[in-house]
Copies of this chain bind each other. A is one copy, B any other.
Amino acid sequence: MSGQAVEEVLAVLRERGGRVTVGRRAVVEALVETTGHMRAEDVVTRVQAGHPDVHASTVYRTLESLEEAGLVTHTHVGHGAAVWHLAGDDRLHLACDRCGEVVHIPPGLFDEVEDHLRHSLGFEATLRHIAVPGVCMACSRAAPP
């Protein structure tokens, strides 16, 4: 069924007048196969593991196209890195500053804060676009502050 998910994404791409190529399929497969949170670089690595002939720039351009088509989104994690995942997968992210782990948490958790910012400041916050940094349980146990 993950194969089906891949085809669905590619179908949308095709509908919009885009073309489906080996590289693009490989990028989508990589995103479907992993639970998400892969940095662009990781996508490149994973794609090239199966398709050494697919160039890195193709991966970057594919991610861009997929995002433009609304099929994929990226989330910023701390130090400039971004993680990519299929759209619709609207989980929120926590990123551990120590071990780098990115954890998914259910959506809705920040609704209250977002509402508050909207009402008090007119600011439309999109917390799903970033990973909230901090220290995960495992790391804080390993080395308490």
A20 within 8 A of B: no
Q: Smallest distance from the beta carbon of A15 to chain B beta carbons, Å?
A: 23
Instruction: List CB contacts (< 8 Å) of A76-96 with chain B.
Output: 76, 78-80, 94, 96
- B interface footprint on A121-145 (CB within 8 Å = 1, 0 otherwise): 1111111011011111100100000
Closest B residue, CB atoms, query A77: B76
Indicate how many identical chains form the complex.
2
Interface size class of A (residues with CB under 8 A): 20 to 34
Of A23-31, A52-60, A65-73, A102-110, the stretch lying at the interface with chain B is: A102-110
Q: What are 19 residue pairs bridging A and B, where the CB atoms are less than 8 Å apart in the complex? A: A76-B78, A76-B80, A78-B129, A96-B123, A97-B126, A97-B129, A103-B123, A105-B117, A109-B117, A110-B113, A117-B134, A121-B137, A122-B136, A122-B140, A123-B136, A124-B134, A124-B140, A125-B134, A130-B133
Which residues of chain A have a CB within 8 Å of any CB of chain B? 76, 78-80, 94, 96-97, 103, 105, 109-110, 112-113, 116-117, 121-127, 129-130, 132-137, 140
